[in-house]
């Protein structure tokens, strides 16, 4: 087990380094740079700026310097926000996005999974059709439409929550629902189909034949087995939702991290592009790693030991 | 039946849940507190290095310069209580009043000298350092090369080209060690004593007292800033001298200012608290405004604007800016002035402002916008000599010109592309112009939108035929619109060059007499409007969402908001 973990950690570091390198060189292929302004800057001023940020060094040196700093956990200064570092930006934005994301994932789990089970148990009944219709809506309605609708109804219409902003519990509700919309629908559909499949398995028939109550059959025998596909999607989902959504953060004016995945590219804020990309990829590979570990716990047949082949 | 009952129960539960959270509208009895949407996180709040309007709208609340712009867009004494100007208009002697920093120490002439030299120093790499190039020696210092702790002029070769050498893989500028620039001697700003500041200018700059109210020229507290280069990163070390004081900065969320008790003119300041929010989405800002979370917002959904103006929720302020199309004069057939003029005249500007932009914009029949003072008091540059250079939507003349250029009814005119940076507004305008040229002149063009960086790159490399552009003035003088079109000018992305034009701009720069100076600028604009490397479309406006309870709101024609005299009523 320990050997497995060690090997995975090493490969995770390698993956992140590859992502960092690919991003570093690809973003430098973009036309224009961080100091392109509608009011063009005099050449000497650009020279001063490039000197300050070491952009006048040869590209290989910039790369080596960047990777060196990265290995020490230093993501460098932001080009756009003059008094801020990229570490600073992530430290400020991630807790906000993660808090919102946690609520959204929680909603997705406590609503999506029961809905899916319910639909599977009432297969082809009106409950099933209703859940699947709502899930179809949830998957296909874009989040910006959902956000605006929620804001119109609950903030401008009913005045039960503030329209936007951050800092109070009430301000979390609408963005969390918006953010949870897709995962709820997605989980419900996933749980429904896995449940249907599991219910056809022989051990379920056996359990029923033993005379176990239906609830015991579902919760003890079936549920555990549908958790594997759920956990598989939950890992990357958490990585994606916790790092924030540009659209949701923009519409609800939330000071999270999601905005930087878009704005840093428009601003050609090189260090921020790299920083947030690396942060997301690190989180993603870490979540996948956790998922793999959970498999072993969920399914005793999966064991991370090296098989001795004699 | 049981199912129906459970549904009702769920509904009751939901209603009581959300009902319990209902927002109680707080009684805003004339508390002198205002909430304003700045719309964006500032890039920084150090006045020496920022260039944007949102940043200026923070700095102008917390700093006070030698002068401050009043509600009539004229500079008034601020930290400087008086000044004298020499006859050649190059030497200014400012006398400072008793004023204090938020840390209790006095604001001195030394702070100004330090702040200006700091903004000019090459190592701080200020993007707006050129706002101080008017000061004698300022430009040379900003362009100098630092060796150790000394600054030198860049060496030149026999042809006068700047010298560089290879150091590893890197091109490094070579300093001329015989030509040292000593910032304590070679720059035209000097504190004679704590209360007297002497400024010597490179040129007799007519609008210098406007510039001294500009963020780049704000003083900074030497004792604090010289010891801590991160002083503007933290609210605690952000020592300032203006009407308000920053007490909280939550990145991407909000900034809170309170009235500054040490401000010299605090009796005039009525607001006790200002909260800036950073809501980027216009529709969200409107929702927050309409639900009482905001009293004012700098971003307004353009599609709603006519309705909002009618209902009194939005106000349109004038803005020193021109929306225009660039023409690449190095490419056929656009190298022919008759073609450019035909394109210019076949645009129906009034149609565009009336049915597309709808923000009270004024069709541009010249380049420099309205609202800049001419030489005589109370006069306007736009109306002083020649208000209009052509007639809007003059299709007959346009057709004649195009025929003279060899393309009767557009026959044989090559297909070309209109370039714009991705935005719905630019797209709608480009589509309208595409239609007008098709219908009026019989010529065909396609539209191409590009992401900002790519668009700027193509523009600067003249990799386009016709391109959308816009210019917002840096200061209240026609020069900010005209000096950009000189040969090789950094923002002259047209390839256009005219020696007589260059000479007039140079003359205006060196002339002290306001009348002669304005005459040169008028003559320059006339040349620009005769050669037409650009096609003006309209003059910008600057709409603001503004609650009726905000009184004395002031937004300058440069887009700068000043809350000093505002109050809630």
**Does B143 sit within 8 Å of A251, measured CB to CB?**
no
Please tell me which residue, B364 or A225, carries the higher pLDDT value.
B364
Q: Between A82, A89, A160, which is nearest B49 by CB?
A: A82
pLDDT for res A304: 65
Q: How far apart are CA A272 and CA B248, in angstroms?
A: 24
Percent of the residues in chain B that have a pLDDT greater than 90, as a whole number? 76
Q: What is the DSSP letter of B551?
A: E
* Conformation bin of residue B312: beta by default, left when phi > 0, alpha when psi is -120 to 50: left
Q: How far apart are CA A179 and CA B108, in angstroms?
A: 53
Q: Between A30, A41, A84, which is nearest B453 by CB?
A: A30
Q: Which residues of B touch A157 (CB under 8 A)?
A: none
pLDDT for res B201: 95
Q: Which residues of B touch A48 (CB under 8 A)?
A: 122-126, 129, 142
With a cut of 50, say whether residue B23 has pLDDT above it. Answer: no
Give Cα separations from B420 to A134, B319, B345, B473 (angstroms): 41, 22, 20, 21
Distance from CA of B439 to the nearest CA of A (A): 32
Q: Between A57, A163, A268, which is nearest B287 by CB?
A: A163
Q: Residues B226, B232, B234, B237: what is their CA dihedral angle, to the nearest 10 degrees?
A: 40
If DSSP codes are grouped into helix, strand and coil, which group holds residue B522?
helix
Q: What is the average per-residue pLDDT within A265-276? A: 94
Closest residue, chain A, to B15 (C-alpha): A160
pLDDT for res A40: 79
With a cut of 50, say whether residue B415 has pLDDT above it. Answer: yes
Q: What is the average per-residue pLDDT within B28-56? A: 91
CB B112 within 8 A of CB B196: no
Q: What is the average per-residue pLDDT within B418-431? A: 94
Q: Which residues of B touch A89 (CB under 8 A)?
A: 251
pLDDT in tens, B453-469: 899 889 989 999 999 99
**Does A52 sit within 8 Å of B253, measured CB to CB?**
no
pLDDT for res B6: 52
With a cut of 60, say whether residue B30 has pLDDT above it. Answer: yes
pLDDT in tens, A20-79: 999 999 999 988 888 887 777 888 888 888 888 888 888 999 999 999 999 999 999 999
Q: Which residues of B touch A156 (CB under 8 A)?
A: 287, 290-291
Q: How far apart are CA B391 and CA B404, in angstroms?
A: 19
Closest residue, chain A, to B492 (C-alpha): A40
Closest residue, chain B, to A162 (C-alpha): B23
Q: How far apart are CA B89 and CA B381, in angstroms?
A: 21
Q: Which residues of B touch A33 (CB under 8 A)?
A: 453
Q: Which residues of B touch A44 (CB under 8 A)?
A: 122, 142-143
pLDDT for res A17: 94
Closest residue, chain A, to B41 (C-alpha): A81
With a cut of 70, say whether residue B16 has pLDDT above it. Answer: no
Q: Between B45, B288, B469, which is nearest A163 by CB?
A: B288
**Does A259 sit within 8 Å of B288, measured CB to CB?**
no
Report the 10 Å Cβ neighbour count for B303. Answer: 12
pLDDT in tens, B98-128: 999 999 999 999 999 999 999 999 988 888 8
Going by C-alpha positions, the residue among B164, B161, B144 that lies closest to residue B153 is B144
**Does B23 sit within 8 Å of A251, measured CB to CB?**
no
CB B358 within 8 A of CB B399: no
With a cut of 90, say whether residue B498 has pLDDT above it. Answer: yes
With a cut of 60, say whether residue B376 has pLDDT above it. Answer: yes
Residues 6+ apart with CB under 8 A from B506: none
Q: What is the average per-residue pLDDT within B134-162? A: 88
pLDDT in tens, A96-152: 999 999 999 999 999 999 999 999 988 888 989 998 898 888 888 898 999 999 999
Q: Between A44, A159, A251, which is nearest B143 by CB?
A: A44
| Among B19, B20, B21, B455, the residue to mutate for chain A (most A Cβ within 10 A) | B21
Residues 6+ apart with CB under 8 A from A222: A195, A198, A199, A204
Q: Between B22, B233, B454, which is nearest A31 by CB?
A: B454
If DSSP codes are grouped into helix, strand and coil, which group holds residue B458?
helix
> According to DSSP H, which parts of B385-538 are helical?
395-404, 424-441, 452-460, 479-482, 499-510, 514-531
Closest residue, chain B, to A85 (C-alpha): B233
Q: Residues B347, B352, B354, B358: what is their CA dihedral angle, to the nearest 10 degrees?
A: -150
Residues 3-62 of A with CB under 8 A from B: 30-33, 35-45, 47-49, 51-52, 56-58, 60-61
Q: Pull the structure tokens for residue A149.
A: 């609708």
Q: What radius of gyration, in Å, describes the C-alpha atoms of chain A? A: 24
**Does B279 sit within 8 Å of A255, measured CB to CB?**
no
Residues 53-112 of A with CB under 8 A from B: 56-58, 60-61, 80-84, 89, 92-93
pLDDT for res B176: 87
Q: How far apart are CA A120 and CA A117, in angstroms?
A: 5
With a cut of 60, say whether residue A309 has pLDDT above it. Answer: no
CB B430 within 8 A of CB B447: yes
pLDDT for res A307: 56
| Average pLDDT over all residues of chain B | 91
Percent of the residues in chain A that have a pLDDT greater than 90, as a whole number? 55
Q: Pull the structure tokens for residue B468.
A: 């959308």
């Amino acid at each position: 087990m320990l050997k497995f973990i060690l090997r995975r950690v090493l490969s995770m570091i390698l993956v992140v380094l590859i992502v960092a390198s690919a991003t570093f060189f690809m973003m430098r292929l973009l036309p224009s740079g961080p100091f392109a302004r509608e009011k063009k800057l005099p050449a000497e001023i650009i020279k001063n700026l490039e000197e300050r940020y070491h952009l006048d060094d040869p590209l290989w040196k910039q790369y080596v310097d960047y990777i060196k700093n990265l290995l020490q956990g230093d993501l460098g200064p932001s080009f756009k926000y003059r008094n801020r570092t990229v570490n600073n930006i992530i430290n400020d934005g991630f807790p906000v996005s993660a808090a919102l994301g946690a609520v959204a994932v929680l909603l997705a789990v406590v609503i999506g999974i029961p809905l899916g089970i319910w639909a599977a148990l009432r297969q082809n009944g009106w409950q099933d059709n209703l859940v699947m219709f709502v899930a179809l809506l949830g998957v296909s309605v874009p989040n910006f439409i959902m956000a605006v609708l929620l804001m119109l109804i609950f903030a401008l219409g009913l005045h039960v929550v503030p329209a936007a902003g951050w800092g109070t519990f009430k301000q979390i509700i609408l963005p969390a629902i918006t953010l949870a919309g897709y995962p709820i629908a997605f989980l419900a559909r996933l749980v429904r189909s896995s449940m249907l499949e599991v219910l056809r398995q022989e051990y379920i028939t056996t359990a029923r034949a033993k005379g176990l109550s239906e609830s015991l059959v579902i919760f003890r025998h079936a549920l555990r087995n549908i958790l594997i596909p759920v956990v598989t999607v939950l890992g990357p989902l958490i990585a994606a939702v916790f790092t924030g959504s540009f659209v949701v953060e923009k519409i609800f004016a939330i000071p999270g991290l999601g905005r930087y995945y878009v704005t840093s590219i428009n601003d050609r804020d090189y260090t921020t592009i790299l920083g947030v990309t690396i942060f997301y990829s690190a989180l993603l590979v870490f979540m996948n790693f956790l998922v793999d570990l959970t498999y072993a716990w969920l399914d005793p047949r999966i064991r991370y030991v090296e098989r001795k082949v004699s | 039946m049981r199912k129906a009952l459970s549904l009702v129960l769920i509904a009751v539960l939901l209603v009581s849940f959300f009902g319990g959270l209902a927002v109680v509208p707080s009684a805003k009895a004339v508390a002198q507190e205002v909430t304003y949407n700045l719309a964006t996180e500032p890039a920084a709040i150090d006045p020496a290095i920022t260039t944007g309007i949102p940043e200026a709208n923070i700095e102008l609340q917390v700093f006070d310069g030698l002068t401050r712009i009043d509600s009539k867009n004229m500079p008034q004494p601020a930290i400087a209580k008086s000044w004298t100007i020499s006859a050649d208009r190059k030497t200014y002697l400012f006398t400072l009043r008793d004023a204090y920093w938020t840390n209790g120490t006095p604001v001195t002439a030394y702070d100004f000298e330090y702040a200006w030299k700091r903004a000019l120093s090459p190592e701080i790499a200020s993007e707006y350092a050129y706002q101080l190039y008017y000061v004698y020696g300022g430009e040379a210092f900003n362009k100098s090369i630092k060796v150790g702790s000394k600054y030198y002029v860049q060496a030149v070769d026999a042809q006068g080209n700047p010298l560089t050498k290879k150091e590893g893989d890197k091109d490094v500028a070579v300093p001329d060690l015989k030509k040292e620039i000593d910032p304590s001697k070679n720059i035209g700003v000097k504190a004679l004593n704590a209360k007297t500041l002497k400024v010597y200018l490179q040129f007799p700059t007519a609008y210098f007292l406007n510039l001294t109210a500009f963020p780049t020229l704000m003083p900074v507290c030497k004792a604090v800033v010289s010891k801590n280069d991160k002083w503007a990163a933290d609210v605690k070390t952000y020592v300032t001298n203006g009407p308000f004081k920053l007490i909280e900065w939550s990145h991407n969320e909000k900034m809170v200012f309170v009235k500054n008790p040490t401000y010299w003119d605090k009796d005039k300041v009525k607001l006790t608290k200002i909260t800036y929010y950073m809501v980027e989405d216009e529709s969200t800002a409107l929702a927050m405004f309409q639900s009482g979370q905001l009293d004012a917002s700098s971003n307004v959904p353009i599609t709603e604007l006519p309705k909002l103006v009618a209902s009194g929720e939005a106000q349109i302020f004038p803005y020193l800016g021109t929306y225009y199309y660039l023409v690449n004069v190095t490419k056929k057939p656009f190298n022919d002035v008759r073609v450019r003029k035909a394109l210019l005249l076949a645009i129906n500007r009034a149609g565009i402002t009336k049915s597309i932009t709808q923000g009270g914009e004024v069709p541009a029949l010249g380049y420099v916008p309205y609202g800049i003072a001419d030489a005589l008091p109370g006069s306007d540059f736009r109306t002083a000599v020649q208000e209009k250079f052509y007639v809007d939507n003059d299709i007959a003349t346009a057709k004649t010109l195009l025929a003279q250029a060899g393309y009767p009814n557009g026959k044989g005119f090559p297909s070309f592309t209109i370039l714009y940076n991705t935005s719905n507004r630019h797209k709608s305008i480009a589509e309208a112009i595409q239609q007008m040229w098709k219908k009026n002149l019989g010529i065909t063009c396609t539209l191409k939108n590009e992401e900002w960086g790519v668009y700027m790159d193509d523009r600067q490399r003249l990799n386009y035929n016709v391109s959308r552009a816009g210019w917002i003035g840096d200061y209240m003088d026609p020069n900010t619109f005209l000096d950009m079109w000189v040969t090789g000018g950094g923002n002259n992305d047209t390839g256009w060059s005219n020696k007589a034009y260059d000479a007039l701009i140079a003359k205006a720069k060196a002339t002290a007499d306001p009348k002669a100076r304005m005459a040169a600028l008028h003559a320059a604009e006339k040349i620009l409007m005769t050669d037409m490397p650009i096609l003006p479309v309209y003059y910008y406006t600057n709409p603001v969402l503004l609650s009726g309870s905000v009184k004395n709101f002031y937004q300058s024609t440069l887009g700068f908001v000043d809350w000093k005299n505002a109050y809630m009523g």
